[in-house]
Structure 1
Amino acid sequence: MTITQSFSCEPEIKSLLISSNLLPKIWTFVISSRDDEGFDLYTGNGLSWKVDVQSSVTIVAFEVKPSFYLDQRMVSSAHLNDNNFHRFQFLLSKKFPVFSLNRSLVALLYENLKMLDDLQISLSSPRLIITGLGIGGSIASLFTLSLLDETNLRNKRPLCCITFGSPLVGDKRLQEAISRSSTFNSCFLHVVSHKDPVPRRLNPHTKAYMPFGTFFFCSHINFTCFENPESVLEILVSLINDQNQGFQPIDYGSILQNIFRAVICKDFSQRRQLWAADLQQEQYQKIDIKSLVTNLEKLENEFLYEKRIFDPLKKLSDIKVNMSKVEWYKRHSECQGIGYYDSFKMGISTTDLDVVHCLVNIRNYWKDMVKEADMMPYREAVTFRARWLYGGTNYMRMVEPLDIAEYYRKGGKDYMANGRSTHYKVLEEWLKEDKRNKPSFTSKKNVKLILSYDSCFWAHVEEALLLCQQLENVQSSKEVVEEAIRKLREFEEYVYGSLKKYEVSPEIFLSESSYMKWWKQYKEISCKPELASFMSNPNHYDQYTKGYYDFP
């Protein structure tokens, strides 16, 4: 029975093991006694930790008193926040606004908070490893999470948390919050022996607790790795089903040394024997190994399909090509005297059809981008948004008008309420948030090549055209007419205000544009002198385009 390459992390683990024999070294430090020299020991309330400062790395190992009682109950991040315990609030996101942690573990942290804060301040090494055995490893995980808060990463030091036989610490929402970060999940490596019952102390049967990070499952000579939390859970639940192993201490040192020797003495490419095969040779009569492997294969294939971590840089070049095609289409349409909005709305030429494929690719890219940002922890999301704000704004102003054109071509009404995609609304919120943090000003400028600042400008034009139709309809009631006139005047003020700020693309003045069709109808109905004065002379359009028209 062999493990497939598709869900083996063995090459990475081989590098970790062979390059420095790291795991056995860390284990040796974890179990070192108080009589050993070379490290500093600190004792808190029910918790102790030792710090080994070497020339290249600092190791912090946590240990919890054997009398500590690990409660199954959880506490929500909202409750912690209400009680002024904010250590993990940075993990929250719009998608995951709350998560839960083990109640007794958090209580232990809180009881030692002052000393742990002092420990955080003292850790200045450029390389840092946090570790622990059993419940000490669970505390190590929570302490590492607190260090990942950007406000504590003054030197941007890399962090690594390596635990041995440790129980899980939080629920699925915590796992998802950590997994969605580009860096957080990779900080955690959990070493678990197939004979160790402690990692299953918080019963995964209920799925109340979920694993995060990479799990290194090991037996005497074999090992395998899983990053997929569902696969890890499948293994933990399978081991719970068999109670023959008892509660005996596990010597991770001998296990790791055996694996280390086996790996360096044999051709690694031939060492693909599934770790689970060892279970079949021992006291695990209740475990169906074949069924376990089948389930793991299925879970890993699903994980690999769903994972496909969105990397905006990988597709950026293709998106730039597609955007350049849309920009060419815009210029080409303007040369035809109609503008790209109205050209796409009619959709009668081959160029109108050719641009559709580009729009699908660009739209899907930015939908994924917005989705990714929503799932990131707040602080990481803020950095992400700031980095991609310009591209998102340009996309929204270029592409959304074409979505509006398609919507009204199909007979839609009230795009803002019924047709607008959520990702446009999110991008607009990014832009508004950015504007709130910057001073606003208006200046005259050449606007020949700009995109209208309001990506929904054409939706407002379409609604104004529909209102004009209501006024022309002799069957419209007095109330309908009065409401239509009121809304048309609001639109007139909106247009004039946008023009005064030089925020509207001059393509609206093309003779066949929907805006000019609206103006021809509206000027016969009701119009204030300010907009009428500007629109009455075509020379004003050219002056506006070049940025020297003086609005009263």
Structure 2
Amino acid sequence: MDTETSPFESSDMLAAFLLSTPLIPESWRLCSLANTAAASGNFLTEQIGDVVYLAFSGIQMAGGSGPSWGQLVPLVSVGDVTLFSSHPSKEGEDGVMVHAGMLNLFWSIFKQFQNQMMAIMGNPNTKSIIITGHSLGGAIASLCTIWLLSYLQSISSSMSVLCITYGSPLLGNESLSKAILKERWGGNFCHVVSKHDIMPRLLFAPIIPLTTQIYSLLQFWQFCMTSPHLGSFGAQISDQEKADIFTFVMAYLDNAASQDGERTLPVLFHPFGSYFFVSDEGAVCVDGTATVIKMMHLMLATSSPASCIKDHLKYGDYVNKLSQQSLNQRNSMQVNVPDSSYEAGLELALQSSGITSRDPAASPFRQCLSSARRKGRTPTLNAANLAVTLSKFVPYRAEIEWYKAWCDKSDDELGYYDSFKRRGSTTAKRDMKVNMNRHKLARFWNNVIEMLENNELPRDFNKRAKWVNASHSYQLLVEPLDIAEYYGKEKHKTNGHYLERGRDRRYKIFDRWWMEKEATMEETKERTKFAGLTQDSCFWAKVEEARDWLSRVRSERDVNKQVLLWQNIEKFEKYAVELIESKAVSEDVLAKNSSYSLWVEELREVRELNSKVRTFPNTFTRFLDGEVVP
């Protein structure tokens, strides 16, 4: 079946479909007008029906020069809009960062752009917005689109937004690429890249003026930034400098296209969104960071130093020719149609890349496209397979639920949490089984998150009630066991408390899923009996912190620190009482020997002792504190 469901048809046919719409010709027409506009840095706006186009010029004047152009700077917020805040980076991973020079260019037009956007969105006749730009204008268009998507998300708008860039340089680091995937915005970006254009590949090489080649590269950048006429593009660079630039970029592109384990240098800039590769022979649309980088590498390898700079100005020619050439390409395929739809799709994709099956470069192109096929072919099928896998994990969950019921009815009156926490080294078979099931379920849900973040699941997966409810139910049942394991092994003494140092990232993600669902839920009715599972999955971690505060308040001599500890204790006490009164906890919380019940009893004793101490004479108080009274 795999060989008959060809995503190569979709990559080639998606390109053909896009060319059959007015999006490409209209967006390029506006880019051309913006490039010839007298006022550098401005953008043009035009409304066609219910679609508004904004085009940014490729001629931009940069403030500053030199090594600063190679710097990455954080992209946190723009105006009042926070970007990517709902998806924090993994521990040890860089935050979202973008090219410093491009961000400066964005800031120079932001206010004007923001005002224009407010006017456009205030027009009831506007249904869609297309933001486009050529060269450095494409980078600004991408930043404007990121801001607009974030803003529309913050106001829950359904406005359609698409960014189409032409020959745009890379914009940001790997974290930016991942953040866009996590926000499900990959489909909002279409980057048109010609086969030989060096500009989109330029930032795979570092910009540090240490060698003659890099200095030439820096000159090239400065020329791109300051040339008043794109028609003279490349004229000020000698043939030798062009060759140096080409060789230098190819060396770093070779490194970027290698497998992660084979790279000798880090890759600072990463692509995001869909890439629409165009050549004299046709067009092919692909996505996925690894695939895009590999295609950039393979295509530039067939280029020459002169064509790699000249090609940056040929996008108008490609746009005018592609529709007719795409049709001719399909007609030529009718002469010898491969038996398999897989092979037919692959042949179309190869031809659109300017490669024939007899070309020596066909083999690496085939391998690259085959890799793309395996990685991202069927998000919907992946979700369906996950549902089947989830059903197979039901027995593991059922065994944990049975264990909880057994603990809650046990004569030791410890309850679910404390029974697992105190199981000790001589664990019973049922304890070992529950612990094993806990790890199996964790692996399953970690895999779900990884697939979602790799864009291998549908865009709305984390909003589907089935998966939101399943993840929340899992969290309420299993996270108390994770907390019990953490404190049972006394990890808090070396690592710190669970909430700050021990909580797994998956639970934080599930918290966000559930909060987003709760925001759309109607108000729930009051409970008439205790919940089957405590509705705060971190309740026991908070109990453990409260026990620590109570222990410390006994020995603390600093009055100010005592006050802070008592404030924390009383805040938790109030929270716990509210949970219990609303019956949002399981009955095991109130078990006679549970950690919470013991804490309540200890708190009562400390308060009674304090009240008695306050009635004693000052000298006797000093005696209680261990001082000798003369």
TM-score (norm 2): 0.57
Question: CA, structure 1 residues 499+313, in 2 after alignment: closer, same or farther (shift >3 Å)?
Answer: farther
What's the CA shift for 1:97?
Answer: 4.0
* Mapped contact 2:74–2:96 kept (Cα < 8 A): yes
Structure 1, 196-205 or 173-182: larger mean CA deviation = 196-205
**Aligned residues of 1:186 and 1:213 also touching (Cα < 8 A):** yes
In the superposition, relative to structure 1, how do residues 527 and 61 fare at CA in structure 2: closer, same or farther (>3 Å)?
Answer: closer
Pick the aligned partner of 1:231 from 282, 291, 294.
291
* 1:21 Cα deviation after fit: 1.0
CA deviations on 1:372-415 (whole Å, 9 max, x unpaired) are 99999xxx99x979999987776555323323444566676749
Q: Evaluate the alpha carbon distance shift between residue 341 and residue 310 of structure 1 in structure 2; reply closer, same or farther with a 3 A threshold.
A: farther
Instruction: Work out the CA distance in 2 between the residues paired with 1:33 and 1:396.
Output: 50
* Alignment pair present for 1:47 and 2:128: no
Contact map agreement 2:30 2:55 (CA 8 A) in 1: no
Secondary structure (helix, strand or coil) at the match of 1:402 reads helix
**Distance in 1 separating the partners of 2:544 and 2:60:** 72
Match runs of 1:146-545 below 5 Å? 146-151=147-152, 155-182=157-184, 184-202=185-203, 204=205, 205=249, 207-240=267-300, 242-245=304-307, 247-248=310-311, 249-250=313-314, 251-252=317-318, 253-263=320-330, 266=334, 269=341, 270-273=344-347, 275=350, 289=361, 292-293=364-365, 296=368, 300=372, 315=387, 318=391, 323=397, 326-337=400-411, 338=413, 339-341=415-417, 343-344=419-420, 346=423, 351-364=430-443, 395-407=474-486, 414=493, 417=497, 420-423=502-505, 426=508, 448-449=530-531, 451-452=533-534, 500-501=577-578, 503=580, 505-507=586-588, 513=593
Question: Aligned partner of 2:368: which letter?
Answer: L
Deviations 1:31-81 (A, max 9, x none): 37999xxx9x98754434252413xx5252525265867978156554896
Q: Contact 1:396–1:424 at 8 Å: present in 2 too?
A: no
What CA deviation, in whole Å up to 9, does each residue of 1:326-353 have, x standing for no partner? 3343224334445434554548666545
SS at match of 1:245: helix
Q: Structure 1 residue 94 and structure 2 residue 94: aligned?
A: no
Could you say which residue in structure 2 is the equivalent of 1:474? none
Displacement of 1:19: 8.1
Measure how far apart 1:187 and its partner are. Answer: 1.0
Structure 2: which amino acid aligns with 1:94?
A: P
For the 8 Å contact 2:9–2:345, the answer to whether it is kept is no
Change beyond 3 A, Cα 1:117–1:42: farther
Which deviates more, 166-175 or 63-72?
63-72
Secondary structure of the 1:192 match is strand
Q: Is the 8 A contact 1:194 1:219 kept in 2?
A: yes
Distance 2:382 2:352 in 1: 35
CA pair 320-156 structure 1, distance change in 2 beyond 3 A: farther
CA contact (8 A) 2:70 2:99 kept: yes
- Note if contact 1:312-1:369 (Cα within 8 Å) is conserved in structure 2: no
Letter in 2 for 1:399: V
Aligned amino acid, residue 180 of structure 1: K
**Where do 5+ consecutive residues of structure 1 fail to align?**
438-443, 471-478, 531-552
Do the aligned partners of residues 350 and 226 (structure 1) sit closer, same or farther apart at CA in structure 2, a change above 3 Å counting?
same
Name the SS for the 1:224 alignment partner: strand
CA deviations 1:464-504 (Å, max 9, x no partner) are 9999xx9xxxxxxxx9x968xx9xx9999899767744636
Query: Whole-Å Cα distance in 1 between the matches of residues 62 and 152 of structure 2?
Result: 32
Q: Name the aligned partner's letter for residue 142 of structure 1.
A: L
The offset of 1:132, in angstroms, is 3.9
Q: Structure 1 residues 308, 413: CA separation in 2 closer, same or farther (over 3 Å shift)?
A: farther
Give 1:158 deviation, angstroms: 1.9
- Report the Cα offset of residue 213 of structure 1: 0.9
Mapped partners of 1:355, 1:19: distance in 2: 53
Name the amino acid aligned to 1:21. Answer: S
Give the Å deviation of 1:86. Answer: 3.3
Q: How far apart are the structure 2 equivalents of 1:42 and 1:243?
A: 29
SS at match of 1:212: coil
- 1:79-109 per-residue CA deviation (whole Å, 9 max, x = no partner) reads 896xxx5387424542164411351574266
| C-alpha spacing 1:351/1:294, structure 2 compared with 1 (3 Å) | same
Residue deviations 1:245-276 (CA, integer Å, cap 9, x gap): 25154211213420144337746932422538
SS of 2:83 mapped into structure 1: helix
- Partner deviation per Cα, 1:103-139 (whole Å, 9 max, x = no partner): 1574266247425632552255223333344444444
Is the 2:168–2:200 Cα contact (8 Å) retained in structure 1?
yes
Please name the residue that 2:21 is paired with.
22
Helix, strand or coil at the partner of 1:163: strand
Give the 3 Å change call, closer, same or farther, for CA 222–87 of structure 1 in structure 2.
farther
Matched residue SS, 1:209: coil
Query: Equivalent residue of 1:210, what SS?
Result: coil
Q: Is the 8 A contact 1:216 1:224 kept in 2?
A: yes
Answer whether contact 2:62 2:105 (CA < 8 A) is retained: no
Residues 312-335 of structure 1: CA distance to partner in whole angstroms, max 9, x if unpaired? 995596477765653343224334
- Structure 1 letter corresponding to 2:120: S
Contact (CA 8 Å) 1:217, 1:275: kept in 2 or not? no
Distance 2:61 2:482 in 1: 60
Q: Distance in 2 between matches of 1:32 and 1:507?
A: 67
The 1:112–1:301 alpha-carbon spacing in structure 2 relative to 1, beyond 3 Å, is: closer
8 A contact 2:298–2:365 mirrored in 1: no
For 2:53, the equivalent position in structure 1 comes to 60
Q: Is the 8 A contact 1:7 1:226 kept in 2?
A: no
How far is the alpha carbon of 1:218 from its aligned partner? 3.0
Q: Distance in 2 between matches of 1:446 and 1:199?
A: 62
The one of 23, 28, 31 equivalent to 2:29 is: 31
Does the residue aligned with 1:11 lie in a helix, a strand or coil? helix
- Whether the 8 Å contact between 1:132 and 1:162 is mirrored in structure 2 is yes
Q: Which runs of 5+ in 2 are unaligned?
A: 206-248, 253-266, 520-525, 557-561, 610-630
Which residue identity does 1:340 align to in structure 2?
Y
Q: Aligned partner of 1:359: which letter?
A: R
State which drifts further: 502-511 or 141-150. 502-511
- Fraction of identical pairs, as percent: 20
Count of matched residue positions in the alignment of Structure 1 and Structure 2? 482
